[in-house]
Amino acid sequence: MTGDPEEATDVTVEATAETDIRARILDASAEAFMRAGYAGTTIDDLAREVGATKGLIYYHFRSKFDVFLAVYAEGMARVRARVEPWSRADGRGAERLAAMARAHLANLMEDLAYHHAIHQGVAGTVSAALRPRQRQDLQELSSLRADYEDMFRAVLQEGLDDGSVRPVDPRLATRTLLCSLNAVDTWFRPQADQPEADVEALAAALVDLVVGGLLPATAPPSPVRPG
Amino acid sequence: MTGDPEEATDVTVEATAETDIRARILDASAEAFMRAGYAGTTIDDLAREVGATKGLIYYHFRSKFDVFLAVYAEGMARVRARVEPWSRADGRGAERLAAMARAHLANLMEDLAYHHAIHQGVAGTVSAALRPRQRQDLQELSSLRADYEDMFRAVLQEGLDDGSVRPVDPRLATRTLLCSLNAVDTWFRPQADQPEADVEALAAALVDLVVGGLLPATAPPSPVRPG
DNA sequence: GTCTATAGTGGGATAGAC
DNA sequence: GTCTATCCCACTATAGAC
C-alpha cells in the first residue's frame, strides 16, 4: 500500500486571475502566520509578502480574520483530499490507518504553513474578540476538523473490529494519534540541503512509532521491578 | 508505583505580601492567557482578573511579556518538581516513564492554565517583536524546557537498555510522548460536576495508550477476535 | 503599594484617486 | 483592481496623586 489508491480525474480548472491572486494571498498569509502567529502578523506584513499593499488584501478579503478562515479552509481541503482516498482503500484497519497517517504527514510537511495556521485555529488563540458571523464561520471550520477526525476514528474502529488494532479507546487513541502527527509542525522545518529520503524516513519512523503503538501486543506487562 | 517516591521536606516558606500578590497575578494571568491567548489578553484583563488595576501589574512586573515569562517559569518549576522524583525512582525504564507521564498529566490537569501558557510559549506565537533582553529570557526558558525533555529521554533510553521499551528512536519517541500528553490541554477542561475518579481514569487510559505503545510487542498481528 | 489619568503608537479598516 | 492617505481605536507603558 504505497502507490495512489485512485487516479485524480484531471479536470482542467480555469485559473482566472481572481483565483490566482487569492491563492497567492493565501500562500503568503499561511507563511506569515507561521512565522509570527496570527496576532503577530499585520495586514501590511501579508501585503509585503505578496508584493503589494494593504488595499489589495482588503479588496479580496473583508478582514484579517477572513484571511485566516480562508487559509484554514484551504489547508483542511488539501489534507483531506490527500488522506480521504486511503480511508476507502483495501486492507485491514491498522494498515489503512498507517497509510492515512503517511498521507497526512506528507501533506503536513508539504503544506507546513497551512497546518501551522490550522493548529493555531484549533488552539483558539485566535478567537480573542470575534463578531458573531466570524465566530460562526470558525465553528463551521471546527466541524470540518471534527469530520476529519471522525474519518480516522472510523478506520481505527474497523481496526478494532478486525483485530488489527489492540484494544484502546477509539476517541482517545484517534485524538492522540492526530496530535502526535500534528505536533510535527512545531519542530519540523524543511532544510534546503535535506535529501527527500531523509524526510520520508522521518515520516516513516513516526508512523511506525504511533501506529505501531496501536498494534496488538501479547507481551506481559512485566511488573518485574527489583525495587 | 503509585504513591509518592519521596516526601517533600516541609520547608515553611515565609509568604510575604509581596510573594502573595505576585502569585495571585501569575495565577490570574495564566487563566487569562488560556482564555484569550497571550496577544488577545490585555493588561487591563489581567488586572481585572486580580481585582485591581493596571498600575498594580506594572508595579510588580516591567511588562506584559515579563508576566508571561514568569508564568512560564512558574509552570515549568511546578511540573518539574512533581515529575523529577519519579525519574529517580526504582523500577525498569518503561515503568518509571509511565510514572513520570502520570505525574505530568496530574500536574497538567491541575495547573492547566500554566501548561497552556507554556504551550504557547514553545509554539513561538508570542515572539512577535521582542527586545533583545526578552528574547534571551525566552531562550533560557526554552532550555529549561529542553532539559525537561532530556529527563524523559534519559529514562526512555534506560528502558531501551533494559529491554522494557521496544526499539524506537529515543528523540522522536520522547518528543511524541510529550506532545501526546501536552495535547491534552487543547481539549481537556475540568467540569464542575466531574468526579475525581473520572479524571484519573482518563489520565490512566492516556498513559496506558502512549506508554503502552512503547512496550515490546512479541505478538504476531493476532487476528483473533470474532468478527 | 495601589490608583487615576494620559501619553504615545501600532495597526485594522475605509475612502477615494488612478 | 491596486494604491495612497488617513481615520480611529485599543492597548502598552508611564507619571504622578494618594
DSSP string, B2-50: -S-SSPPP-------HHHHHHHHHHHHHHHHHHHH-TTT--HHHHHHHH
Contacts of B126 in chain A (CB under 8 A): 37, 40
CA-to-CA distance for B11 and B138, rounded, in angstroms? 30
Using one digit for the tens of pLDDT, what is the confidence trace for A25-57? 999 999 999 988 888 899 999 999 999 999 999
A72 touches strand C (CB under 7 A): no
Q: How far is the CA of A144 from the C1' of D1 (A)?
A: 33
pLDDT, residue B138, reads 86
pLDDT tops 90 at residue A94: yes
Buried b (16+ CB within 10 A) or exposed e, A140-169: ebeeebeebeebbbebbbbbbebbbbbebe
The CA distance from A175 to the nearest CA of chain B, in Å, is 9
The answer to whether the Cα torsion of B56, B62, B68, B74 is positive or negative is negative
Contacts of A183 in chain B (CB under 8 A): 175-176, 179-180, 183
The residue count of chain B comes to 227
CA-to-CA distance for A221 and B24, rounded, in angstroms? 44
pLDDT tops 70 at residue A1: no
The amino acid at A97: L
pLDDT, residue A126, reads 63
Q: How far is the CA of A138 from the C1' of D8 (A)?
A: 27
Mean pLDDT across the stretch A171-177? 98
pLDDT, residue B8, reads 58
| Largest separation between any pair of C-alpha atoms in chain B | 68
The CA distance from B21 to the nearest CA of chain A, in Å, is 26
Q: Which residues from the 164-223 window of protein chain B have CB within 7 angstroms of nucleic acid chain C?
A: none
A17 touches strand D (CB under 7 A): yes
* Local confidence band at A227 (pLDDT 50, 70, 90 cut-offs): very low
Q: Identify whether the C-beta of residue B128 lies closer than 8 Å to the C-beta of residue B38.
A: no
The amino acid at B8: A
Out of A128, A215, A221, the one facing B36 most closely (by C-beta) is: A128
pLDDT tops 70 at residue A2: no
pLDDT, residue A19, reads 81
Contacts of B180 in chain A (CB under 8 A): 176, 179-180, 183
pLDDT, residue B2, reads 63
pLDDT tops 90 at residue A213: yes
Mean pLDDT across the stretch A125-132? 66
Instruction: Classify residue A15 by burial, with Cβ atoms within 10 Å: 0-12, 13-18, 19+.
Output: exposed
- Whether the CB of A183 is below 8 Å from some CB of chain B: the reply is yes
pLDDT tops 50 at residue A142: yes
- Whether the CB of A120 is below 8 Å from some CB of chain B: the reply is yes
Q: How far is the CA of A85 from the C1' of C14 (A)?
A: 45
Other C-beta atoms closer than 10 Å to the C-beta of B23 total: 13
Task: List, run by run, the mean pLDDT of 10-residue segments along chain B (227 residues).
Answer: 64 69 97 89 96 97 95 97 98 98 97 93 62 84 95 98 97 98 93 90 96 78 38
Rounded percentage of chain A residues whose pLDDT exceeds 70: 86
A53 touches strand D (CB under 7 A): yes
Mean pLDDT across the stretch A203-216? 96
pLDDT tops 80 at residue A219: no
